[in-house]
Structure 1
């Protein structure tokens, strides 16, 4: 009898999680169908934009398993499709609202299971601090009309190369593992968050990567570093939703987002499992090499 009660509770908990997941899936699918039927010529729409489901999946997997925003994947693709700079940024922001949110929820659930682990003690404070300053930086850029020092194409190329080199450097260094952040670290994270928010306003990518790199250089748990970068990125892209998602003046290509968005949700949910299955160092090196190559190709064009 003593063993029956825990077993019953486990079955009951599993059933509750199953039906909750099924309900969420049903609601998301219903919302997508309602959105889909707003467009005319649905068959032509699927033929032309259905393939972007895979773009959403790929971008979200890389974004949420490494902490690097999905813009690293999306911007080069949109550039090759001859999107304008505003179209590229707005569409990238909107897709990331799907993918980064799914990744943030997935990583937050992982944190709930490991919140007693001392390597995760700085998770909540780091997110709150970085997110506040990132949102402040993004809206400072928008309200003060701060512009990128060069074209999006050039800025993104240079930023990608620099980011890739920094990731390789951080992966190769053998730091002493640190379980806590000092006051100077929180100050640095606030500064990184603010300027990362400005860069994100220009390129739709930036703050998550900079945070992850700093935390890894400080010797903080790599899993926690990636998780913080993902959650802060999710909050940052949603803070720009009045501009890129819900505004009548948005330049986002909604037909593309209709398919890439759900793909990004799938990728965002799969990313954490991939990051935990592979070593973070291997994943970082692969990703860093890829974005350096992408940036170099874009810069040469």
Structure 2
């Protein structure tokens, strides 16, 4: 019923546009872009910006519009994906209750710091040290290399920690890196999910746990940042009208793709894709 309501709302919204048929012709491709971005984001923990930012840049959109529209699309895709992952961790019989509690403990530490980083950039106008495109490319390169290193050299090690809570040094590490991740996310629309996922992987947590945490913190982070972009009227609403439904469709299937791929293939895909994006941005 909820799905039908959303479809009906979208149809009415589209029909009330000045020229709906022309709009469909011009922007239908963004529906499929939304699907691809959401699948990548919600099956790996990487924010949808790794797909949206280079795509929108290639179309010649202004950088502020790129970031704002990417945030807006992720509000739909990452939120649907985070609900899917939370249902999995709360309902799957294979997940021990302490695993669920550990996920919430991780989020309780990460989310406030990520939001603080985003709001610092948005409301206190913390400027990047170089161009947004350069930051995006360098970040993608570093992230891709770290994930591939973990996959190739550490992949055979056990990633099922028998712990019920994070240590104090781990909590501090997550807090500091989440704050930095929030700043980066405000600049380039990706960062916090990737950083948290990598930190958890390197601390020995399973890839599914790491991806789930990355997806949920990304969802809450972009939701916290979207009021700023709405107030500044930076979001491309025509793109959002088609990309948002695609993002929700992609998010619904992403977790099942992640489970089907398995931990090693998932990390290999994630690292390879992000590395490619980073290299492409520097060329």
Could you tell me the TM-score, scaled by structure 1's length?
0.88
Q: Distance in 2 between matches of 1:155 and 1:161?
A: 10
Deviations 1:167-191 (A, max 9, x none): 1112231444313221211111111
Counterpart in the other structure of 1:6 = none
Match of 2:253 in 1: 270
Within a 5 Å distance, the mapping from 1:234-249 to structure 2 comes to 234-244=219-229, 246-247=230-231, 249=232
- The residue that corresponds to 2:20 in the other structure is 42
For the 8 Å contact 1:56–1:264, the answer to whether it is kept is yes
Change (3 A) 1:241 1:68: same
Moved more, 117-126 or 69-78: 117-126
Q: Corresponding residue for 2:176?
A: 191
What SS does structure 2 have at the residue aligned with 1:224? helix
Q: Structure 1 stretches (4+) deviating beyond 6 angstroms? A: none
Aligned to 1:168: 148
- Asked if the contact 1:120/1:179 (under 8 Å) is kept, the reply is no
**Does structure 1 residue 135 correspond to structure 2 residue 115?**
yes
Q: Distance between the aligned counterparts of 1:203 and 1:150, measured in 2?
A: 12
Aligned to 1:294: 277
- The answer for the alignment partner of 1:17 in structure 2 is none
SS in 2 for 1:240: helix
CA RMSD of aligned residues (A): 1.4
Residues 208, 232 of structure 1: 8 Å contact kept? yes
Deviation at 1:118, TM superposition (A): 4.3
Structure 1 gap ranges (5+): 1-22
Residue 230 of structure 1, CA deviation: 0.3
Q: Deviations over 1:70-107 (max 9, x none)?
A: 00011110111011110110110011011001100100
The answer on whether the counterparts of 1:118 and 1:179 sit within 8 Å (CA) in structure 2 is no
Structure ID, larger Rg = 1
Match of 2:73 in 1: 95
Q: Equivalents in 2 of 1:227, 1:39: separation in Å?
A: 37
- With normalisation by structure 2, the TM-score equals 0.94
Does structure 2 conserve the Cα–Cα contact (< 8 Å) formed by 1:60 and 1:271?
yes
What does the per-residue CA deviation read over 1:149-175, in whole Å, with 9 as the maximum and x for residues that have no partner? 111111111111111001111223144
Task: Give 1:241 deviation, angstroms.
Answer: 1.6
C-alpha distance in structure 2 between counterparts of 1:169 and 1:118, whole Å: 29
Q: Does 1:71 align with 2:49?
A: yes
Aligned residue pairs: how many? Answer: 276
Mapped partners of 2:251, 2:32: distance in 1 = 12
Say whether residues 1:157 and 2:140 are aligned partners.
Answer: no
